[in-house]
């Protein structure tokens, strides 16, 4: 599983997320060193993260949209453990000198399994309820997650980096975790079915521009975070910026406060 922040990210930035990210980075690295001293390896933690994801998906099947706290609580616990593994395995590989080609491959594949399993768990729950709307939204959310990741992987066959767009895996995972604890699964499904689509489009647009620049033998210029940038206004929303904090706050507020329930709108519209 991939690390959701980097040491470079946030340098020269001013948002609250910069300082939160720095605090997480320091805590993550200390914990990673402790796990290494215990003899654990990064690949083992990656696999453990997949096990936690399976457990979270099973809990979602039982009660993704239910108001009872039992299944939501256990889903949230397993998602937190997934997130911890997601942050720690890359740090352990780096700090322990255990970075390998296969480890990076395993990390990416397990991330995709995790994306699929969580949305599949939600989709099965709503399928049991006969709720067409949220079956569709969970399927679209899954497709968005896979397309965003695939676009980056394919783009980086041709350019050095394609980490553009807001909805990276860390943001999607955090949104789902918050929704589970807040009882906002319906709201987050609308969010993840709509907005990440534009991150996929942004990566296509950026890759087209970057390939054109390279073909003209122009050097891609980095922004403050060290990533290549085409100067787009959207890059002002990168982690560590005030714009990012405002956008993130709006997304979180939507998950927690939007008056969205499990009503099957699609079935009523098309029946």
Give me the residue spans of the domains in the chain.
16-270
- pLDDT, greater one: 230 or 226: 230
Structure tokens at 239: 């982690």
Condensed to tens digits (0 to 9), the pLDDT of residues 74-114 reads: 999 999 999 999 889 888 998 888 889 999 999 999 999 99
Q: Return the closest-CA partner of residue 138 out of 266, 1, 4.
A: 266
Condensed to tens digits (0 to 9), the pLDDT of residues 28-86 reads: 888 888 988 888 889 999 999 999 999 999 999 999 888 778 999 999 999 999 999 98
Sign of the alpha-carbon dihedral angle for 130, 122, 112, 139: positive
pTM: 0.88
pLDDT at 8 (0 to 100): 43
What's the CATH fold of domain 16-270? 1.20.120
pLDDT at 13 (0 to 100): 56
pLDDT higher than threshold 90 for residue 125 = yes
Burial (CB < 10 A; 0-12, 13-18, 19+), residue 52, is buried
């Amino acid at each position: 599983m991939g690390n959701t922040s980097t040491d470079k990210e946030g340098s020269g930035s001013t948002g609250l997320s910069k300082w939160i990210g720095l605090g997480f980075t320091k805590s993550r690295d200390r914990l990673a060193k402790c796990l290494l001293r215990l003899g654990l390896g990064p690949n083992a933690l990656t696999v453990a993260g997949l096990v936690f994801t399976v457990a979270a998906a099973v809990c979602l099947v039982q009660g993704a949209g239910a108001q009872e706290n039992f299944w939501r609580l256990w889903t949230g616990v397993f998602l937190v453990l997934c997130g911890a593994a997601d942050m720690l395995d890359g740090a352990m590989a780096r700090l322990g000198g255990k970075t390998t080609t296969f480890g990076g491959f395993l990390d990416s594949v397990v991330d995709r399994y995790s994306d699929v399993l969580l949305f599949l768990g939600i989709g099965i729950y709503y399928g049991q309820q006969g709720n067409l709307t949220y079956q569709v939204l969970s399927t679209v959310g899954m497709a968005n997650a896979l397309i965003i990741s695939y676009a980056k992987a394919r783009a980086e066959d041709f350019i050095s980096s394609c980490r553009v767009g807001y909805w990276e895996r860390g943001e999607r995972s955090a949104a789902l975790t918050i929704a589970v604890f807040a009882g906002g699964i319906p709201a987050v499904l609308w969010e993840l079915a709509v907005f990440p689509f534009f991150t996929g489009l942004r990566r296509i647009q950026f890759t087209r521009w970057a390939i054109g620049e390279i073909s003209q033998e122009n050097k891609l210029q980095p922004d403050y975070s060290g990533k290549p940038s085409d100067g787009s206004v959207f890059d002002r929303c990168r982690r560590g910026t005030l714009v990012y904090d405002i956008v993130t706050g709006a997304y979180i507020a939507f998950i927690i406060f939007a008056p969205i329930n499990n009503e099957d709108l699609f079935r009523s519209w098309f029946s």
